[in-house]
Every structure is written in structure tokens, then in C-alpha cells.
Chain A
Amino acid sequence: MTFNIIVLAKQVPDTRNVGKDAMKADGTVNRAALPAIFNPEDLNALEQALGIKDQYPGSKITVLTMGPVRAAEILREGLFRGADDGVLLTDRAFAGADTLATSYALSMAIRKIGSFDIILAGRQAIDGDTAQVGPQVAEKLGIPQITYAEEIQEIDSQKVRVKRRLENGVEIVECPLPALITVNNSARACRPRNAKLLQKYKHARTITERQAESIDYIDLYSSRPYLNLNEWSVVDVNADPKLCGLSGSPTKVKKIENVVFQAKESKRLTESDEEIEELMKELIRNHTIG
């Protein structure tokens, strides 16, 4: 028994570093200072896929991402960790997509990939924390979904059994295949890169990446077809351009506003014993504490 698995992964700015060194003096983020990373929970999703492949050798994992050409970096990262194939969905017409337009584009790419048993996604991407794309893709494909998954406990050709992590508890659910599962960060962490796979795939490139490099080892790419990463446009996936990118996004940003917090009259203290004791006394006196 083998499974065809698609992992949805997004390259995101490392928003966890905001505030540490990426703030500009005017209070906005210096995006260039933020590394672009594999969305953390998408790595948890990849690990669940790799677990299935460990159990059922011969299963195939395809990582699918929509983004700029640079997002091919995470496809290679996926290959280094054990994925079998990567697809980059890139086109100017995809730019400015909200979650709905994103899910439309991804669902069209999944239709082009064709057969699949399971789609794994992260619960949410850290640049928005919205957790919308997974369920929206599932609806577009007309398949059931399991969100907030922590562990795929059992899988056979008919169904999958999954442990979900709820706000205050856990749920074990069983669902027929094909299905889409979104994975939480409470799931096992992703295994590291594998040195052999790193050697094997380090030259994997999309066509645009190859064109941008000064020397193109044509022979290398024709003799080792697995080094050619798929790069698909709107036309390649038969998508309707009106439903993609900005024009396919029902949500529009009306305006962006800079927030200035009303500076309060605050009392400034040092860490000296006297000042801290005085503060505690004041808080006790006015019944804030005690």
C-alpha cells in the first residue's frame, strides 16, 4: 500500500524576530531584516507526511507552494528532508492574493497534480495567523478536512484516524480518504535535513532559477530529471485569472493606519530598593493588590 501525499507549504517572513532587531525607528518593520523561512507548522505537516512514508515506503510526497520565485527555497528544503517532488506556483497574476484567491490557485494546482490520498497543510501561517487556506482548499476540492491535528494515528487505504488538539481537550476522529489535514505545532517536530538528500538535491532548480544563474549545466538537468523543480503559471494550472491574485480576492485593504498610543502620564522608577518598596506600598494602599 502506498499513498500520494501533497504538502502545502508557504515561505513566510520570520515574524518571530520582529521587535528584536527588525524594527525601524518609525515603528515599522524592516522586512529585509527578517529571514524568509519555511512556515513552522508546515514543517510539522511535512513530518506527518514523512511518517506515513516511513511506514509505507514507496509513498510519494509532493510539496506545493505558491509564491515568488524565491519560494523555491522551501521546495529544496522539503526535498532535503525527504519529500520526493516540488511544485512552485508562481505568476504575476497570483500576486496580492487573499486566502480565498490563494486557496483557489492551490486547488487548481492540486487538480493538475492529479491523484492524491491526503493533503497536509500547516494549521496557520505566521505572517497572518489566519488558518483559512487549508479549509478553503478542502472545500474547493470537495473533500473532508481535519483541522488542528496533532498526530496521524492510523492510516489505511480507506480512512485515516487523527488526534486533534482542541482549546481544552483532545478529539480522536476518523475520516475517509482523500482528506485534507491541517497540523498544529504541538505535533512532532520535523526531522532535520538528511545529508545524502542534501547532496542529491542541492542543484534542484525551477526553470526561472536556472535562467537567472550564469552557468546552466544543461547536461546535469537532462540526465537527472529529478533536479527540475516544477514551475507552474496561471495558464499551466488552467486557472481563471479573474479568480487569482488581487482581482480574485474578495477582501480589500481599505487603508492602513499607523497607531499612535496615547502616551499616559507614567511614573518612571529605577530598580532601587526604595523605589520598588514605595511602589508596592502605593499599590497596596490603593487596593490594586493585597
Chain B
Amino acid sequence: MDNLFVYLEIEDGVVADVSLELLTKGRSLANQLGCKLEAVAIGGNLGTVEKQIFPYGVDVLHIFNDERLSPYTTLPHTSILVKLFKEEKPQICLLGATVIGRDLGPRVSSALGSGLTADCTSLEIGDHEDVKTKKVYKNLLYQIRPAFGGNIVAWIVNPDHRPQMATVREGVMKKEIYSPIYTGEIVEHNVNEYVSDEDFVVSIIDRHVEKSKVNIKNASIIVSGGYGVGSKENFQLLYELADVLGGEVGASRAAVDAGFAEHERQIGQTGVTVHPKLYIACGISGQIQHIAGMQDSSIIISINNDPYAPINNIADYVIVGDIERVIPKMIKYYKKNTK
């Protein structure tokens, strides 16, 4: 009762980073709440999952081991979580804001009638007073995310419904071992008590998963372009700069929407979160949804022809100018001074 649950995303027996990040966050929230951290592993081939996750401070691992449960399909995973949550009555459930988490989370929330907040950039515990009824709720989960409408963040709570559900993107929370020798309890469930045959009506005919070609998540230098880059052709300049510096190319959502760059390159609240040592923002204005994904960069350079662009406030170097002239000069003087 009243514990904090994390749904584990598992591919080929390996727990995804985003799940480990959620366990780290979940552990610290559970400490604050004085409750247990529980994890749910659903799939086949779960042999080493416990070893992978206990060091993150997991108190209870729920295992649903059945070949039919991987690869992931919606209905059986939903049925398992819904029934498990009805039995265990968690106060909080965290999922990755991934293709799987975004397929499963809303389905479960709909079945349980509980609220779900997508793409949180921060999670905290605190009290809440209802303005109308004056009722005070202790220790709610604050689900914090940028809101549409300017540089504003919304603090969202679910006062009356459990579990309080939230999704978080990969890279937003830090992944940190809690204790290498931590061990918890393992509960093996009988899968057939949770799923029915009708849950397996959707069949996967074919599946190709490749390693992503774009690796901006771990890049230490990122040259990122916005709508101000102007065209797909101009983005070539960014690729050239990234190439000579040994970095990767990122983009704002406006640049992605305009077709200048692929979706995998989007940085921000609903894209990738990055922590490079150098972030060069080219023609990016700096809306909060973008900043949410790159503000932890060690050094930020902004190239913008508007001296008052909001991103300049968080930049270490502001080059007021046109990217078409500035970037070729950066390439030229980098080459000149490294030869």
C-alpha cells in the first residue's frame, strides 16, 4: 500500500536507462515519503533484471515472466499493471516517456481513472491546499513541466486519485547507484492470473530495431539549429561545424517542424535532454521547452542576430550576428588554430 512504483522497460533482458533514472528519482522521493520503492518487470528473459536494478535502491521487484510478454504489446502489459495496482494501491507510478511508456501509461490511467502528466521535467513532494474546499493534501507529487503560453511552468497535482502517474523522458533525471549491495524482495507473480487470452489478439508480424544513427544524447559537443537557420540547406553549415569540432547536430522543434532536421535530433522537453560540455545554439530563440532540454550544458554559445533573444540570457558567449557569416568563420579559425 502507498508505495512508489516504477515500470521497467526491458529490451533483450536489459533494463533501459530511462527506467534506471526513474528508479534513482523514485528512491529519493520514496525516502522523503517514507515509503518503499517497487519495480515491475514484465517480459520473457528477465534473468538478470534483479542484479541490474537492486543497486538503485529497489525494495520490491515484481516479476511477470512469460515469453508471450516480450516484445511489448499493449494489452497484456496494461492488464498486469491495472490488476497489480488494484491490489497494491501505489501512491505514485512513474514511467518513461518513450514509445512504450506513452502507449501504456494513458491506457492504465484510463482504466484506473487516475491522472497522468506527460513529459515532466521535475518531480517534487509537497502539500497542496484546494482553493475552493480548503482541504489540505499532504505529500502530493508535484509534476512540473513547461506549459504552453510563454516562459511558464505548470505545477500539476492529482489530489484525489491514485496512483499519481507521470512520464519522464530519458536523460531528464540522473541515474545514480544508491548502494551496490542493496537488495530487495522478489515477488514472482503467476502471469495467468493477470492476463487473459484476449490480451494477445495483437500480433507482431515483423520488427526491426536498429541502433540509433543519431547519438546526440551522449555527445560532448552539440551544434544545434533553430528556425533562424532558415533552410535545410543552411543546416549543412551546422553539420560542417559539428564535423570539424567532433560533435553532433541538434535542432529545435521549430526547425524539425519546418523539415530542416530529423525528429531524432529535437532537443527539449518533448525531445532529447542533453548535457554536453559545449552547446552552440544557432538561430534558436530559447523558449522554455527548448531550454528544458539543454540548460545543463557546461558552456553555451548563442549565435543570433537578435541581441535580445531569450537564449542569450543563459549563454556564456553571445555572438550577435548572422549564422551564415559566423559559422564559416568559426570553422576557418578553428582549423587555423589547431593546425
Is the CB–CB distance between B110 and A140 below 8 Å? Answer: yes
Q: How far is the CA of A106 from the CA of B301 in the complex (A)?
A: 46
Quick check: A130 and B119 within 8 Å, CB to CB? yes
Rounded to whole Å, the gap between the CB of A99 and the closest CB of chain B is: 7
Stretch binding the partner chain, chosen from A13-21, A47-55, A63-71, A78-86: A13-21
9-residue interface stretch from A23-31, A112-120, A201-209, A222-230: A23-31
> When the two chains form their complex, are residues B337 and A23 in contact, meaning their CB atoms are under 8 A apart?
no
B86 contacts A by Cβ under 8 Å: no
Task: Check: B136 CB closer than 8 A to any chain A CB.
Answer: no
Which A residue's beta carbon lies closest to that of B97?
A: A131
Contact among A29, A250, A261, A262 for B158, CB-based, below 8 A: A250
Bitwise interface map of B from 91 to 106 toward A, beta carbon under 8 Å scored 1, else 0: 0000000110011111
- Is B310's CB under 8 angstroms from A145's CB? no
Q: Is the CB of B321 within 8 A of A271?
A: yes
9 inter-chain pairs at a CB distance below 8 angstroms, sorted by A residue, are A132-B109, A135-B103, A144-B202, A145-B103, A161-B205, A176-B201, A254-B155, A277-B336, A281-B333
Whether B3 sits at the interface, judged by CB under 8 Å, is no
Tally of contact residues, B, Cβ under 8 A: 95
B295 CB to closest chain A CB, in angstroms?
8
Stretch from A88-96, A164-172, A191-199, A211-219 that touches the partner? A164-172
Q: Which residue of A lies closest to B142 (CB)?
A: A254
Q: Does B186 contact A (CB under 8 A)?
A: no
Q: A20-B227, A99-B106, A166-B99 in contact; A266/B316 too (CB < 8 A)?
A: yes
Q: How many residues of A contact B (CB 8 A)?
A: 83
How far is B116's CA from A157's CA once the two chains are assembled, in angstroms? Answer: 34
B70 within 8 A of A: no
Q: Are the CB atoms of A23 and B317 closer together than 8 Å?
A: no
- The closest CB in chain B to the CB of A139 belongs to B110
Given the known A-B contacts A15-B148, A19-B287, are A269 and B107 also in contact in the complex, defined by CB atoms under 8 Å?
no
Whether, in the assembled complex, B175 has its beta carbon less than 8 Å from a beta carbon of chain A, the answer is no
Q: Are A257 and B316 in contact (CB under 8 A)?
A: no
Q: How far is the CA of A256 from the CA of B205 in the complex (A)?
A: 46
Residues from 71 to 93 in B contacting A, C-beta threshold 8 Å: 71, 73-75, 78
Complex alpha-carbon distance, A161 and B157, angstroms: 39
A232-262 near B? 1/0 per residue, CB < 8 Å: 0000000000000000011111111111111
Question: With a CB–CB cut-off of 8 A, which chain B residues contact A176?
Answer: 201-202
Cα A99 to Cα B284 in complex, Å, equals 30
- Return the CB mask of A144-160 against B: 1 if under 8 Å, else 0: 11111000000000000
